[in-house]
Amino acid sequence: MTARSLGTEVSCDGPDSARACPESAAVRARFTSMTAAAVRRDGRRDGWVCRRRDGRLVDLCPACKTTP
């Protein structure tokens, strides 16, 4: 039997450090996205952003990136 990677999932880190994403959003899976960088690139096409918060990078879905 041969094991194959199923890819990488990138999920939303929520509107701020104290709250989780209300939609539990994740970047839509695409067959060709097998690395975290490729998944993030796909997410940017769908409106996701990557921001620095508390000294680390976080991924925010379109709904959470606009939440004050």
pLDDT digits (tens, 9 = 90+) for 6-63: 677 889 999 998 999 999 999 887 777 888 888 889 999 999 999 999 999 999 999 9
**pLDDT at residue 68, rounded to an integer:** 65
Question: Are the beta carbons of 51 and 10 closer than 8 angstroms?
Answer: no
Quote the CA–CA distance of 48 and 56 in Å, as a whole number. Answer: 16
Selected residue with higher pLDDT from 41 and 2: 41
39-48 long-range contacts (CB < 8 A, ≥24 apart) are 39/7, 39/8, 39/9, 39/10, 40/10, 43/10, 48/10, 48/12
Q: Are 27 and 47 in contact (CB under 8 A)?
A: no
